[in-house]
């Protein structure tokens, strides 16, 4: 860790914690019981199906663990999770399949 002035780390933690809480509180806290316009409600219905794929796609193609290099075991594990999920509509089954495949491929790579 680069040399930090005393208190800098705690300042960072507090600022990030407070900012993150305000982001989470934002609409839920300040909008409260007011009804949202229909267009906003329609857009918000697609938050999970838009945010999660957008988070995952770059991590699948450029994983942090390999320093951003495309990695076949991770790519295959992601495809396996997606296909099993779409096929069986079961979160835990999909995750177990993907993680299991990755573990096996990683162990094989170590041989």
Partner 1 sequence: MSSALSPRPATVFWEGVRDGTPFIVMVGPFALLFGVVAAELGLSLAETLGFSTLVIAGAAQFATLELLDAGAPVSVAVGTGLAVNLRMALYSASLVPYFGRAPLRHRAWIAYALVDQVYALALLRFQGREEPQGSRLAYYAGAAAPICGIWILACALGAQAQSTVAAVPGLDFAVPLTFLAMVTPMLKDRPSAAAAMVAMSLAILGHELPLNSGMLLAAAGGMVTGAVLEGRREAHG
Residues 18-77 touching partner 1, rule: CB under 8 A, are 18-21, 23-29, 31-34, 36, 39-65, 73-74, 77
Confirm or reject binding of residue 111 to partner 1 (CB under 8 A): no
Q: What is the per-residue burial (b if ≥16 Cβ within 10 Å, else e) of 74-90?
A: beebbebbbebbeeeee
Please report whether residue 6 would count as binding partner 1 according to CB under 8 A.
Answer: no
User: Min. distance of Cβ 79 from partner 1 in angstroms?
Assistant: 9
Please choose, from the candidates 56, 76, 74, the residue with its C-alpha nearest in 3D space to the C-alpha of residue 65: 74
CB of 108 to partner 1, least distance (A): 10
């Amino acid at each position: 860790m680069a040399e930090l002035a005393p208190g800098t780390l705690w300042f960072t933690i507090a600022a990030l914690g407070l900012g993150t809480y305000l982001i989470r509180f934002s609409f839920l806290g300040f909008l409260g019981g007011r009804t949202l316009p229909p267009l906003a409600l329609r857009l918000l219905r697609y938050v999970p199906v838009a945010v999660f794929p957008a988070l995952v796609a770059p991590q699948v193609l450029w994983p942090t663990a390999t320093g951003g290099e495309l990695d076949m075991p991770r790519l295959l594990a992601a495809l396996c999770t997606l296909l099993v999920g779409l096929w069986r509509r079961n979160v835990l089954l999909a995750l177990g399949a993907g993680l299991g495949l990755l573990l096996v491929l990683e162990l094989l790579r170590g041989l």
